[in-house]
Chains A and B, each alone.
Chain A
Amino acid sequence: MPLVETGGAPSNTEGPAVDKATAAAHWAKTSSLMLLVLGIWFVAGFVVHIFAPSLNGIRILGFPLGFYMAAQGSLIIFVVALFWFGKRQNQIDEEFGVQED
């Protein structure tokens, strides 16, 4: 089945024209948000679990805390962080006028 290109050029060639200073400011905010969320990811994904054996001494509702973090806690942190990241990035995009639509 032959696939056909429609809609002409890829959308990156028709992006909104932004001057260099705005683009740099946008990227500064975007990249610091990125590093912050990556930090959250690293802490929830690795740091917490390095201390799992000692956290397992703490029990909440029958869950050893280290186990709980691996089974549910870190995953909840991941999901909440992603929602927050998406919202924050949209705010940044709107602030600099580079949002979609």
Chain B
Amino acid sequence: MSGASKEKDPFIASLGKIYAGYTGGFAAFVVIIAILEQMGVPDRILGYLFVGLTIGVYAYIGIISRTQAVAEYYVAGRRVPALYNGMATGSDWMSAASFIGMAGSLYALGYGGLAFILGWTGGYMLVAILLAPYLRKFGQYTVPDFLGARYGGNAARLIGVTILITASFVYVVAQIVGVGIITQRFLDVSFEVAVFVGLAGILVCSMLGGMRAVTWTQVAQYIVLIIAYLIPAFLMSAKVTGVPLPQVMYGFALERIAELENGFRAAGMTPPPGVTGWHSAPFIGANGQF
């Protein structure tokens, strides 16, 4: 926040162009993959291409972002524009743990699974209100350091460390299992090998450049993720309800599910294994009506 950081950084100034070019490149790549698929190239080759190219791009960003300055490594020099930081955080929100973990939890737990969505979205609010502004003004890098300085002494620091390790351990386990499953599917290797291949990819992306590399690869991933999230949902909504607005229209899909599940219940069927109950059960009123 000294005078040096005030002058316009040419890299920050051209971010819009860089990521617009990247998005165009990604769209072109998807079209090429689609053409190859139509030409009858086997899925396995397409899988290698897709994983290879995307990890290649992330690794490239990771390597060009390499740094040895502490402030760059831990907090990306504190000069990531808000929009891009939001994109990077957003891609954390919807990373492997949510992309497949959340879908699975909602399938298995139904309505109760939504507690996870509320929890980790609401958690960002707590971070933004209680911690982030003060950590930034504090000028150091880690939450335990901040807690230690704010409350004086190692007890606060220890509590911070314990909570951080607990939370990030659980999160990283989910994340790595997700990485393993996805890599396994795409590369057609065993789960154990897939975990290490995935971890090697993550390492290349993040180790050399720390937070700086992670932020810029996350922005790149955000663009891929948001496209990959939205297109299937919009297509599905258009196919099922005729209106390509899933956020509004899936209420009708919900009614249809309740109807079908009522039929299953009437036929004396039970929910499939691994699922805790009929998904529409919490919405059935006392009169047995959805």
Please name all residues of chain B whose beta carbon is closer than 8 Å to the beta carbon of A4 when the two chains form the complex: 68-70
State which of B13-21, B39-47, B136-144, B154-162 sits at the interface with chain A.
Answer: B136-144
Give complex CA distance A3, B207 in Å: 12
Question: B171 near A: Cβ within 8 Å?
Answer: no
Give complex CA distance A45, B114 in Å: 11
Q: A6-B71, A64-B283, A67-B282 are in contact. Are A12 and B252 (CB under 8 A)?
A: no
Q: How far, in Å, is B213 (CB) from chain A's closest CB?
A: 13
Please name all residues of chain B whose beta carbon is closer than 8 Å to the beta carbon of A86 when the two chains form the complex: 128
Q: A45-B118, A75-B118 are in contact. Are A3 and B2 (CB under 8 A)?
A: no
Q: A3: which of B73, B114, B255, B282 is its contact (CB, 8 Å)?
A: B73
Please name all residues of chain B whose beta carbon is closer than 8 Å to the beta carbon of A6 when the two chains form the complex: 69-71
Interface hits, A42-82 → B, CB 8 Å: 44-45, 49, 52-53, 56-57, 59-64, 66-68, 70-72, 74-75, 78, 81-82
Q: How far, in Å, is A53 (CB) from chain B's closest CB?
A: 7
Q: A56: which of B2, B121, B122, B282 is its contact (CB, 8 Å)?
A: B282
Please name all residues of chain B whose beta carbon is closer than 8 Å to the beta carbon of A85 when the two chains form the complex: 128-129
Question: A32 near B: Cβ within 8 Å?
Answer: no
Q: A4-B69, A101-B1 are in contact. Are A12 and B129 (CB under 8 A)?
A: no
How many residues of B sit at the interface, in one of the four size bands? Answer: 35 or more
Give complex CA distance A72, B6 in Å: 39
Tell whether, in the assembled complex, residue A7 and residue B125 are in contact, meaning their CB atoms are under 8 Å apart. Answer: no
Question: B272 near A: Cβ within 8 Å?
Answer: no
Q: Mark B108-138, 1 if CB is under 8 A from A, else 0.
A: 0001001101100110111011100100011
Closest to B207 in A: A1
Please name all residues of chain A whose beta carbon is closer than 8 Å to the beta carbon of B125 when the two chains form the complex: 37, 41, 45, 78, 81-82
Q: How far, in Å, is B143 (CB) from chain A's closest CB?
A: 15
Q: How many residues of A contact B (CB 8 A)?
A: 46
Interface hits, B222-272 → A, CB 8 Å: 247-255
Please name all residues of chain A whose beta carbon is closer than 8 Å to the beta carbon of B114 when the two chains form the complex: 67, 70-71
Tell whether, in the assembled complex, residue B282 and residue A53 are in contact, meaning their CB atoms are under 8 Å apart. Answer: yes
Q: B124: which of A12, A53, A82 is its contact (CB, 8 Å)?
A: A82
Question: A5 near B: Cβ within 8 Å?
Answer: yes
Tell whether, in the assembled complex, residue A78 and residue B282 are in contact, meaning their CB atoms are under 8 Å apart. Answer: no
Tell whether, in the assembled complex, residue B285 and residue A89 are in contact, meaning their CB atoms are under 8 Å apart. Answer: no
Q: 30 A-B pairs, CB-CB below 8 angstroms?
A: A4-B69, A5-B70, A5-B71, A12-B137, A12-B140, A14-B2, A34-B130, A37-B129, A38-B129, A41-B122, A44-B122, A45-B118, A45-B122, A52-B282, A53-B282, A57-B285, A61-B249, A62-B250, A62-B252, A63-B250, A67-B114, A67-B254, A67-B283, A71-B117, A78-B121, A78-B122, A78-B125, A85-B129, A86-B128, A89-B133
> A residues near B, CB below 8 A?
1-7, 10-15, 34, 37-38, 41, 44-45, 49, 52-53, 56-57, 59-64, 66-68, 70-72, 74-75, 78, 81-82, 85-86, 89, 100-101
